[in-house]
Amino acid sequence: MGNISEQIMDDHHYHFALHYVVSPAPQVYAYMQCHEDLSQTDCESCFSALKQKANRCLPSDSARIFLDGCFLRYDNYDFFGEAVDPIHDKFNCSARHLDDESLSKQFEEKVIEVITNVTIVTKRNGRFGQVEGKGGIATVYALAQCLKFLDNKGCSQCLDEAALRLKGCSKSGEGRAMFAGCYVRFSTERFFNPNYQKKETRVCAFTFLSSIGACIGYKRLSEMRKGQVLLGTVLCTSSLNFKYEILERATDFFDNSRKLGQGGAGSVFRGTLPDGRNIAVKRLFFNSRQWVDQFFNEVNLISGIQHKNVVRLLGCSIEGPESLLVYEYVPNRSLDQILFVKNTIHILSWQQRFTIICGTAEGLAHLHGGSGIKIIHRDIKTSNILLDEKLTPKIADFGLARHVAPDKTHVSTGIAGTLGYMAPEYLVRGQLTEKADVYAFGVLVIEVASGRRNSVFSEGSSSVLHTVWKHYKANRITQSMDPGLTGRFPENEASRVLQIGLLCTQAPVALRPSMTEVVHMLNNIDYEIPPPKQPPFLNASVISPSDNSKDSMMSSFKSF
């Protein structure tokens, strides 16, 4: 696989290249081709992705892999010139359908018309075509491409067969035909570059040794990542860069047994580098321009931060088929997995909880200005606090973080975060200041002390914030403490901590302390804590959806 990829990367002047490896049988033939609307850089990125996917099919002696921008096939016979393969040719229809029967009929007619037109355009253009069917209830986009080794007759045969099969998807919002000699796709969403300049599409065929087996696959690659070239220029020469292959081997090819957890932005795996160091590798979900924002945030904002209570970024990889972030390995998982797991063997003591609260406060104070720049995390919660072997807390997951310029008091931005931790002014008006982190920290403090999760969907007066506020007003605030502690905590210290949590969750922004002030309150027993003046919770009924929409609402807020 490496030989074919390297040859294509180096061959900038030919549409087709043939490469032989002189060696004993069995021989295997391989072919890769990009869609003609891809730039050279995007084509090379797509080829790199194909190489990685193909490696997972070995030692099988045949494979087909379709990505959104390119195609790979290898087999144990000379398939060049093959237009159709009745056994292995595939087509796929999406599950999206129109419910209105009259509109559905109009849509079907348009899809059939667009599929017919794109095959005509492709034959006329010489193996590549794009069509847009505008008007009516939806615009339909279509793309078709024949592989370079086909003659005109073979191209026409493949397109006609693929179009015939794909017209069976006319009730769907998207369909793809993946044939031996061509590829045809339609969708109600634009998926190609309409302004492409016709260019050379580099392809390659070659012969090499392989074992015998069987593998056929289909994978989807999202549209090429805007900003990747710029980011690559910066990182490829820096000490932050890791080779994708090294990280893949370090995690046993992202084996599920190495999975540490999964969040809204990606999955995290434990890895071991060749030098024996343990690392955590974050595999970002690659589905939109959100990838760019999260990647730049995590690399640019925290790569230079050195603080004992902020997880350390060791580096990243952008050269493979997916983007990876590499962090120090924190062995004791996240705080929520220890704090809220029922029947756990180890119940956090009060001293351990107090240390976690203080450490998290110090880390946030550092982010809010102690590092020389102001960073707002935007998603402080128990699942984003990691614990090392000594239960030292480390703030993690900076995918939603924002930098605030020195001359700005706030940032106006789209709502992102987790319900239950979002400050009211941010949730309602989208105004983001460091006091949004303070609010989330207050919720976290109360959760750690009480051992209960906060939920905006709690009925009546059962939410943890409401309970703590009620006990505070009745001068019995320590009744909010986690029953699992069985009273083993200093009442004065616990009372101060809960009161600090209430201060941080006050509705008016001006009444919340800064994180620097919070650190002083926690570390100085003589520091007089002012009484909270406002109820520290939102009326759940104002923002709570109906029961059947709770899950979708939670997901939408977490996925911005």
Residue 494: predicted pLDDT: 97
64 and 192 fall within a common domain: yes
d(CA 51, CA 511): 56
pLDDT digits (tens, 9 = 90+) for 355-382: 999 999 999 999 998 777 888 999 999 9
The answer to whether the bond into 59 is cis (omega within 30° of 0) is: yes
pLDDT digits (tens, 9 = 90+) for 240-255: 678 888 999 999 999 9
Q: What is the mean pLDDT of the chain?
A: 77
- With helix as H, strand as E and coil as C, how does 161-202 read? HHHHHHHHHCCECEEEEECCCEEEEEECCCCCCCCCCCCCCC
Q: How far is CA 145 from CA 154, 174, 223, 322, in A?
A: 12, 17, 17, 25
What residue type is assigned to position 178 of the chain?
Answer: M
For residue 528, give both structure tokens. 């007089």
12 has a pLDDT exceeding 70: no
What residue type is assigned to position 114 of the chain?
Answer: V
553 has a pLDDT exceeding 80: no
158 and 303 fall within a common domain: no
Residue 543: predicted pLDDT: 39
249 and 299 fall within a common domain: yes
Taking Cα atoms as reference points, which of 279, 294, 311, 467 lies closest to residue 385? 311
- Name the residue with higher pLDDT: 131 or 94: 131
Min mean pLDDT across 56-65, 194-203, 285-294, 371-380 is at 194-203
454 and 344 fall within a common domain: yes
521 and 387 fall within a common domain: yes
Supply the range of the domain harboring residue 233: 228-328
Calculate Rg over the CA atoms of the chain.
28
Residue 5: predicted pLDDT: 44
| CATH code: domain of residue 387 | 1.10.510.10
Residue 537: predicted pLDDT: 58
Catalytic residue among 379, 397, 437, 482: 379
Burial grade of 2 (CB within 10 A; 0-12, 13-18, 19 or more): exposed
398 has a pLDDT exceeding 80: yes
291 and 233 fall within a common domain: yes
Residue 220 lies in a domain: no
Highest mean pLDDT among 244-258, 287-301, 314-328: 244-258
Contact (Cβ atoms closer than 8 angstroms) between residue 257 and residue 340: no
Q: Does the active-site annotation cover 379?
A: yes
410 and 516 fall within a common domain: yes
Based on the structure, what is the number of domains in the chain? 3
- Name the residue with higher pLDDT: 378 or 403: 378
Instruction: Give the confidence band of 65 by pLDDT, cuts at 50, 70, 90.
Output: confident
Instruction: Give the confidence band of 208 by pLDDT, cuts at 50, 70, 90.
Output: very low
Min mean pLDDT across 137-141, 402-406, 480-484, 516-520 is at 402-406
Residue 221 lies in a domain: no
310 and 432 fall within a common domain: no
Helix (H, G, I), strand (E, B) or coil at 218: coil
